[in-house]
Copies of this chain bind each other. A is one copy, B any other.
Amino acid sequence: MKNNKDMPPEEHGGPLMADVARLAGVAISTVSRALANPGRVNEKTRAKIDAAAKQLGYTPNAMARGLRVGKSNTVMIILPGSLYYGVSQVIPQVLQSINRALLENGYNLMIANLGRDADSERHILDLAFGGTVRGAIILSSKLPEVDGRSLANTGLPIVSMLLDMSAAGLPSVVTNDREAVREATAEMIRLGHRRFLYIAGPEDNYHDVERYAGALQAVREAGLSEEVISRSGGNLDYQEGFAIGTQAAADFARLTDRPTAVIATSDDMAISFSSRIQRSGLRIPEDLSVVSFDGSPVCEFCSPPLSTISQPFEEMGQVAVARLLDIIGQSEKEWETPIVVRSRFILRESMAPPSS
């Protein structure tokens, strides 16, 4: 069924609720209630209306509804400046799980990319203050703020993901960075390693602080001095993982008392590091063990297969959405502590006892 010649609704855009009402022989308000409010209208009338709506191919206008109800059914995800990494599928995975979870609850997902420019900040604030979005999930450490408007003091429900922003009053969904790295480091120690190279993300970054703390904790718990960990990197962002790893390989070559184990804080770093190291003649894991963070699928196909800490992006997305809808539903609820979804350590051939 396509064009209907009963009524002439094809004038402006699609058919209107009024057209459905006319065709069904009822009032507009009855149509509205039939389509949205379950118990409020007679079953026979509803059937007639449903039929009419389907016949006309009627779709309610989202803006009109939104304006009247005063709420949108769109949620925005605020993504950091650069969206892509080397091999990690963070963005796609997060997007997919969040989008699915939102869809199941009748929400749409809008992308908002937060760069360093005031323009993108302004844009996000417009989305928030202009009533376009009903909530936000943020993957960036900076809350947009410009011209005295700030995301912080809107009533807009916000959930932080990946980063723990509980301190800023935002409910947060994170993974146990620290503990995961502690475990991986402990495993290295158990294998017999006593000197480490830690390849760092950007200094002061939440993840790097946590992960480094985890490594330190492991060596302390083993009764080792913190001195056994050398650091490389710290000045580049995670997006620059390959460059960080490459640089780390150079740093490694210059170390006098060479580590036997490497803890890279992203798969990208581990991959470019390994590539350079192997090219220089060292073997993994015979001469050097490697573990990294992220859990990119490709790690399984590296040579040798890379041990990595798999981040639960899918589950974090789901939990973040659940939390957000919670907040949207019941009004104010402050969260003091973040929700933690555990990462999973995957042991592969890149880790072995030191050869000496």
Contacts and interface: CB of A to CB of B under 8 A. Distances in A.
A62 B130 contact: yes
A57 B147 contact: yes
A23 interface: no
Interface string A120-140: 100101110111100000000
A271 B74 CA distance: 39
Given A100-B113, A242-B301, A131 B91 contact: no
Contacts of A61: 67, 130-131
Interface stretch (A102-110, A169-177, A214-222): A102-110
Nearest to A73: B132
Contacts of A123: 103
A281 interface: no
A131 B62 contact: yes
Interface stretch (A77-85, A199-207, A230-238, A338-346): A77-85
A58 B270 CA distance: 48
A28 interface: no
Interface string A177-203: 000000000000000000000000000
B92 A83 contact: yes
Given A67-B67, A113-B96, A148-B1, A125 B91 contact: no
A119 interface: yes
A247 interface: no
Interface in A46-60: 54, 57, 59-60
A336 B89 CA distance: 35
A217 to B, nearest CB: 30
Interface string A260-302: 0000000010011001001100000000000000001110111
A322 B92 CA distance: 24
A89 B85 contact: yes
A87 B87 contact: yes
Contact of A103 (B60, B67, B120): B120
B103 A113 contact: yes
A36 interface: no
A93 B103 contact: no
Contacts of A26: none
Nearest to A123: B103
A1 B93 CA distance: 40
A9 interface: no
A25 interface: no
A132 B92 contact: no
A224 B99 CA distance: 49
A298 B271 contact: yes
Contacts of A302: 275
A132 B96 contact: no
18 contacts: A2-B148, A54-B148, A60-B130, A62-B126, A62-B131, A62-B132, A63-B132, A74-B110, A83-B92, A83-B93, A83-B95, A91-B91, A108-B111, A109-B111, A242-B297, A242-B301, A275-B303, A279-B303
Given A67-B67, A242-B300, 6 more contacts: A13-B131, A62-B126, A64-B67, A84-B96, A103-B120, A279-B303
Closest 4 CB pairs of A and B: A59-B129, A84-B92, A83-B92, A84-B89
